[in-house]
Amino acid sequence: MNPDPAAATPARLPPGQLPGQPLTALAPMQDVTDLAFMRVIAHYGAPDYFFTEFFRVHAQSRPEKHILRALDENTTGRPIFAQLIGEDLTHLTRTVALLLRHPIAGIDLNLGCPAPKVYKKNVGGGLLREPARIDEILGALRAAVPGRLTVKMRLGFDDTRHLDRILDLVNRHGVDLLSVHGRTVKEMYRSEVRYDAIAHAVARVRCPVLANGNITSAARAAAVLRTTGAAGVMIGRHAIRNPWIFRQCRAQFAAADGFRPTLADVHEYVTRLYRETQVPGLAERLHVNKMKKYLNFVGQGVDPDGAFLQAMRRTESEAALFAVCDRHLLGAPTQAFALEPYPGLIARPNCETPAPLLPA
């Protein structure tokens, strides 16, 4: 994909790593995009932008210390936006004032979290039912944020009836960057992504838009950009599976050959991720269980039959986990790691389906 001169980063946004290329961002993922994971991703090829896990905002809240570490100890070389989730104007603006003391690239508002325990509190994706409340929140944040204000949203709560009104609020309040996941809240990760709706958002808002949802590979990122006309892509769980994906995107956008990892490379990634995510005092079994959440995604590219996934999910100790990794990843170390998930292998059967094919 040849760089589009029109895709140059607008002045209010931090510059991308390669001028003229579409932007890339690691999606904020709760309990995933912490300091350790950002460092691991940066080792294999950082995106242009990082976003924190969301800071919960309510009457008793203070910015969570472990999320602040991602800002204060950022060694990735890339800017990090601080994401908020909440609906109380007073406490949102209070939290903004506290976060402005830290090295942030901007403030991001979560309007898309699909977890029922979140939207039932009328925050995250739950707010998409109330455009009038979003209007108030964006107005308060725009007044409180002297720098960049960004938004991550879905297409709606259970339908798209309010989509245009919310997009118009993005314009009204001078939002600097909009990330759009092409599903509704109630669809979670099960339905096909509506890239046509993302293209509609691109056409309607004045700020750059990042396309989000089922960006499974660099080739797919390029196809989504052609389909939507977005300024870039935001990638979440497929960066867990393939930490080289942002590096591969930059090669794809430059019409160059990208890095092709082997199973030995994946073994090194798993080892690094295990080491970086170790926390003093965390019981071994709890750490192994945390690793299995990452490996549910990694396993989608190891073997087409899901043998690695099945064996990994049964482990309960570090020794057992790495015995499985050694057997499946070092047994044929030069074998290519699949750039797309193998068909039928689902990381989280309770909330997602395999990615559909996207026309070239």
Over the stretch 177-201, which tens digit does the pLDDT of each residue have?
999 999 999 998 888 999 999 999 9
Residue 119 sits in a domain of what CATH number?
3.20.20.70
Question: Could you tell me if 43 and 77 are in contact, meaning their C-beta atoms sit under 8 angstroms apart?
Answer: no
At residue 45, does pLDDT exceed 50?
yes
At residue 228, does pLDDT exceed 50?
yes
**Predicted pLDDT at 119:** 84
Number of domains into which the chain is organized: 2
Torsion angle of the four alpha carbons 232, 291, 269, 25, in this order, in degrees rounded to the nearest 10: 10
CA distance linking residue 269 with residue 263, whole number of Å: 10
pLDDT confidence bin for 353, thresholds 50/70/90: low
**Predicted pLDDT at 10:** 67
Show which of 253, 280, 296 is a domain's final residue: 253
**Predicted pLDDT at 121:** 87
Tokens 């259970």 locate to 158
Answer yes or no: is 152 within a domain: yes
Answer yes or no: is 334 within a domain: no
CA distance linking residue 138 with residue 93, whole number of Å: 11
Closest by alpha carbon to 72, among 108, 34, 45, 43? 34
Tokens 């691991």 locate to 40
pLDDT tens readout for residues 124-148 = 999 999 999 999 999 999 999 999 9
The reply to whether 153 and 80 lie within a common domain is: yes
**Predicted pLDDT at 95:** 98
pLDDT tens readout for residues 147-174 = 999 999 999 999 999 999 999 999 999 9
The reply to whether 71 and 213 lie within a common domain is: yes
Answer yes or no: is 14 within a domain: no
Q: How many CA atoms lie within 13 A of 321 on its CB side?
A: 23
Q: CB atoms < 10 A from the CB of 39, how many? A: 18
At residue 6, does pLDDT exceed 80?
no
At residue 355, does pLDDT exceed 90?
no
The reply to whether 201 and 267 lie within a common domain is: no
Show which of 205, 223, 253 is a domain's final residue: 253
Show which of 225, 253, 281 is a domain's final residue: 253
Answer yes or no: is 68 within a domain: yes
The reply to whether 219 and 282 lie within a common domain is: no
Burial 215-232 (b: 16+ CB within 10 A, else e): bbbbbbbbbbbeebbbbb
At residue 1, does pLDDT exceed 50?
no
pLDDT tens readout for residues 254-266 = 999 999 999 999 9
**Predicted pLDDT at 160:** 96
Answer yes or no: is 28 within a domain: yes
C-beta pairs of 320-329 under 8 Å, 24+ apart in sequence: 320/288, 321/274, 321/288, 321/291, 321/292, 322/271, 322/274, 325/267, 325/270, 325/271, 326/267, 328/263, 328/302, 328/303, 329/263, 329/264, 329/266, 329/267, 329/270, 329/302
Answer yes or no: is 346 within a domain: no
DSSP for 79-112, please give it: -EEEEEE---HHHHHHHHHHHTTS--SEEEEEE-
pLDDT tens readout for residues 244-298 = 999 999 999 999 999 999 999 999 999 999 999 999 999 999 999 999 999 999 9
Point out the least confidently predicted range of 4-18, 116-130, 214-228.
4-18
Question: Could you tell me if 144 and 96 are in contact, meaning their C-beta atoms sit under 8 angstroms apart?
Answer: yes
Range of the domain at 245: 19-253
113 is catalytic: yes
**Predicted pLDDT at 348:** 79
The single-letter DSSP state of residue 256 is -
The reply to whether 276 and 144 lie within a common domain is: no
The reply to whether 162 and 285 lie within a common domain is: no
The reply to whether 47 and 166 lie within a common domain is: yes
**Predicted pLDDT at 354:** 54
pLDDT confidence bin for 44, thresholds 50/70/90: very high
The reply to whether 270 and 216 lie within a common domain is: no
Catalytic member of 113, 207, 249, 325: 113
The reply to whether 32 and 104 lie within a common domain is: yes
The reply to whether 153 and 245 lie within a common domain is: yes
Question: Could you tell me if 211 and 234 are in contact, meaning their C-beta atoms sit under 8 angstroms apart?
Answer: yes
| Dihedral pair phi/psi, residue 80, rounded to 5° | -125, 125
* Mean of pLDDT values over 74-89: 97
- Work out the mean pLDDT of the chain and round it to a whole number: 93
pLDDT confidence bin for 9, thresholds 50/70/90: low
Answer yes or no: is 8 within a domain: no
CA distance linking residue 245 with residue 73, whole number of Å: 24
Answer yes or no: is 349 within a domain: no
Tokens 């080289």 locate to 244
Closest by alpha carbon to 147, among 89, 198, 102, 111? 102
pLDDT confidence bin for 314, thresholds 50/70/90: very high
The reply to whether 143 and 249 lie within a common domain is: yes
Q: CB atoms < 10 A from the CB of 280, how many? A: 4
pLDDT confidence bin for 2, thresholds 50/70/90: very low
**Predicted pLDDT at 216:** 97
Question: Could you tell me if 310 and 357 are in contact, meaning their C-beta atoms sit under 8 angstroms apart?
Answer: no
**Predicted pLDDT at 351:** 67
The reply to whether 173 and 284 lie within a common domain is: no
